[in-house]
Structure 1
Amino acid sequence: MGTALWRIHGISVEGYRHRRDGLPCQDAYAHTEAGPVAVLAVADGAGSRPRSDEGSRLAVDVAAEQFVRRAAAAVDTQPGEAVHDLLVDAFHAVTKVFLDTTGPAAADFATTLTVVVLTPDWLGHLSVGDGFVVLRAGTEDGERQFHLLPQPDPAGEYSNETVFLTSPDASRWVHTDCVSDPGIDGVLLSTDGLAQAALSRSAAGPPIPNSSFTDAVFRSLDAPGPVSESAHESLTALLRSDRLTALNADDKTLLRAVRKVRP
């Protein structure tokens, strides 16, 4: 439950249609750590593919292993292009393991993947597909500030088209970021099932974090110690609530980390 620097907690719940039809949740998350490095990963299996729940689980497990191995070996890497190269190298390793494991039936395991690497000096972010990441960093007039990391460009003409690890041109659509900001004290990864709740959209510009939702999600992890069973169950109930289901009936995943020790 967490690392030397971060307190980490995740949850995935099946959406309304999957609960109704007795189908498994096609989202997955994983996190791991090595010394001062933590890796967080979430994935959203393609609803139209028969083994996408297995694909999302495989993707996050392999990503956690491949990204933490490279980041721990390069923890002294300076923020910048070297971090982008590290992220892309890890992504290629994930893709190779994923395709080697799934073989000719790889398309049946189609899934998105969003990864965040946390080190004492920088945060790395890689995404393929429609997952998103929100950072908590700084205050303004006493209010916590939340920042949505850039998302990959749409893969096609329509905004609901996405890219999967198994897409022939997945590497073309991979998006990476490197952020060096000691003020970051919260990180939230999610699949697109929570986009309507966690993000506010307008026709005039890009989406921005919904501060009331994201503040509540982070704040409930700020207290020292492990997340209690009752707090976990309360968050599960929120993600399954009629209010959030009315916004989006898909599976939902939250993977959140808050800083507990300053580097």
Structure 2
Amino acid sequence: MSDQTWNSWGASVIGPLHVKTGSPNQDSWMARRYQWGNVVVVSDGLGSKAHSDHGSKAACLAVFEAAESYQNHPDANIVDILRLIHANWLVRISPYSSTDCSATCLFAIQNEVMITLGRLGDGMIVALGETDKNHLILSDNKQDSFSNYTNSLQQEFKADHWETAVIETTAYNAIVLCTDGISDDLLPEKKMIFTQELYSTYVDMATEERKRDLRRWLNEWPVPGHSDDKTIASLFKKGSY
């Protein structure tokens, strides 16, 4: 049976640029509880692609399917999981082509023993440890980068484009996943502080109040000139802060 002390939250808001152009929110996030644990996924459809909103939703559903298979085949390795996510995504984007649906993919698959993390493309995953030495960040440092290119789900599977980690469930209090609409606005040295403050703010808040407050601060994002969709989701251990 799953560890019932773990729960999830998330929110996504459309960016000012997409509001202005009448485009849909190209980000997606989903969370699902199973008997054996929890899965949380965040995906950002590439803005230049015609059906990237469809691609990001397909990415979330593809991770759920892969996680379910993974739990039934515990000897599978991480590349098997990534390959299955990719195959599921290709099926789910039909009738559109992969070139029109490219999307990033960030996930956390939690069971009683371990949490499996995967990141393809832009965005950030932060694992908040019970002690400072366990903290983990999967993220690009774009401070010195002039490139807009990002890895994504596309026609060809490339295992080396993924960043992964497997961590012990008992050693962590929370996992936070967010698209680059949020992570790009955080200085590298502020990412862990941001996550710790989020966790302490929301860990014991009632579900509906948390939903309202999440959407409020995403809509009131304090960085001048921001334009991107913003999506954040968390898997967290209740009442352990």
1:222 aligned to 2:200?
no
2:224 aligned with 1:236: no
Q: Deviations over 1:26-81 (max 9, x none)?
A: 000111222232111110000000100011001101211221331x325xx5xxxx
> C-alpha displacement at 1:238, in angstroms?
0.8
Q: Tell me the equivalent position of 1:204.
A: none
Q: Pick closer, same or farther for the CA change 1:88–1:103 going to 2, 3 Å.
A: farther
Provide the C-alpha distance between the structure 2 equivalents of 1:103 and 1:255, rounded to a whole number of angstroms: 28
- 2:180 matched residue in structure 1: 192
Q: Map of 1:104-115 to 2, 5 A cutoff?
A: 105-115=97-107
Distance, in Å, in 2 between the alignment partners of 1:234 and 1:261 is 19
TM-score by length of 2: 0.85
Relative to structure 1, the CA distance from residue 3 to residue 137 in structure 2 (aligned partners, 3 Å threshold; closer, same or farther) is: same
- Secondary structure, in 3 states, of the residue corresponding to 2:217? helix
Change (3 A) 1:99 1:167: closer
Counterpart code for 2:44: D
Cα shift at 1:152: 6.9
Matching residue of 2:191: 209
The 3-state SS of whatever aligns with 2:8 is strand
Give the secondary-structure state (helix, strand or coil) at the position aligned to 1:149.
strand
Sort the Cα spacing of 1:100 and 1:260 in 2 relative to 1 into closer, same or farther, 3 A.
same
Write the deviation string for residues 181-210 of structure 1: whole angstroms up to 9, x where unpaired: 62311110111110144x423xxxxx5525
1:137 is matched with which residue: 125, 129, 133? 129
CA drift at 1:11: 0.7
| Equivalent residue, structure 2, for 1:88 | 79
The amino acid across from 1:209 in the alignment is K
Please tell me the residue identity of whatever aligns with 2:222.
Answer: R
Question: What SS is found at the alignment partner of 2:222?
Answer: helix
* Cα pair 2:204 2:238 within 8 Å, conserved: no
SS at match of 2:59: helix
Percent identity of paired positions between Structure 1 and Structure 2? 22
The aligned counterpart of 2:60 is 60
Residues 72-113 of structure 1 show CA distances to partners (whole Å, capped at 9, x for unaligned) of: 325xx5xxxx6xx53321221221122234366221011010
Is residue 174 of structure 1 aligned with residue 154 of structure 2?
A: no
One-letter amino acid of the counterpart of residue 207, structure 2:
V
Distance, in Å, in 2 between the alignment partners of 1:248 and 1:176 is: 29
Aligned pairs, number:
236
Task: Give the direction of change, closer, same or farther, for the CA distance of 1:20–1:222 in structure 2 (3 Å limit).
Answer: same
CA–CA separation in structure 1 for the residues paired with 2:197 and 2:125? 16
Structure 1: state its 5+ residue gaps: 202-206
Report the RMSD for the aligned CA atoms in angstroms: 2.8
Distance 1:234 1:208, change over 3 A: closer
Contact 1:136 1:147 in 2 (8 A): yes
